[in-house]
Amino acid sequence: MDKNKIFTKIIATSLIFSIGVISSSEVMAYTKEETVYSKLDSQGNSYDTVVSEHIKNTDKEQLLKDMSELLEITNVNGDEEFKQDGNSLEWQACGNDIYYQGKINKTLPITSKITYILDGEEISAKDIAGKSGKVKITIEYKNKDEHIVKINGKNTKMYTPFVVITGTILNNTVAKNITISNGKIVDNGTKTLVAAVTCPG
């Protein structure tokens, strides 16, 4: 981004990352896939996190039992109802897959840090607002969900395999000459979508 005004608001309001387990998990003999969507502020701190669940009803069961720590659970793709007792859910599936979302107040297993460089010098997100120049933004992720497992008799550090997808939209009137080292850029003439995929740990 060269000689254009850079506003903290671009990152603070638009940067979203999602994480999902690479392999599906078995829940009450049914397969469930989970994706976490979280907005990041200009420092890389997560806020406004939404979790999306998909229970694959491969056996076309009428009732599906599930476990979830989510709050404000909502069915997002159907009118199937559920009963909740603590963390236990019972869905009136009627042979259908279940898609639902909810919020969670637990700390995410992935943390992030955003670093800003303006014309070769590191600068805070607060101070970069309104300035012009060549900007480099680096986003670092850390997988905190580590485990010690024995492999061939030796203790080995392993991480839960998450895929992290990061995306933001930049306004072409305040940013140009946009490049990315590990990701994809889509430019429609007025806005540029920047997206990246990584597997922390």
Token pair of 69 as six digits: 């720590």
**Residues 57 and 98 sit within 8 Å (Cβ to Cβ):** yes
Q: What is the pLDDT of residue 1?
A: 44
pLDDT of residue 47: 84
Task: Determine which helix (DSSP H) or strand (DSSP E) holds 33, and give its type and residue range.
Answer: strand 30-40
Write the CB contacts of 154 (distance below 8 Å, at least 6 apart in sequence): none
Q: Specify the DSSP class assigned to residue 80.
A: -
Res 9: pLDDT: 40
The whole-number pLDDT of residue 177 equals: 92
14 three-state secondary structure = helix
Q: How much is the pLDDT for 8?
A: 39
pLDDT recorded at residue 16: 59
Q: What CA–CA distance (Å, rounded) separates 19 from 174?
A: 29
pLDDT at 23: 41
Helix (H) or strand (E) holding 122: strand 121-123
What was the pLDDT predicted at 22? 45
> Can you tell me the distance from the alpha carbon of 6 to that of 132, in angstroms, rounded to the nearest whole number?
6
Quote the Cα angle for 201-165-50, to 5°.
105
The whole-number pLDDT of residue 161 equals 86
Angle at 7 between CA 6 and CA 10, to 5 degrees: 110
70: amino acid identity, one letter? L
CA distances from 149 to 20, 47, 83, 152, 185 (A): 22, 32, 37, 10, 39
SS3 146: strand
H/E stretch holding 47 reads strand 46-56
State how far the Cα of 5 lies from the Cα of 2, in Å rounded to an integer: 9
pLDDT block averages, 10 residues each, the chain of length 201? 41 51 52 88 86 92 92 95 94 95 88 93 89 92 90 91 89 91 93 90 79
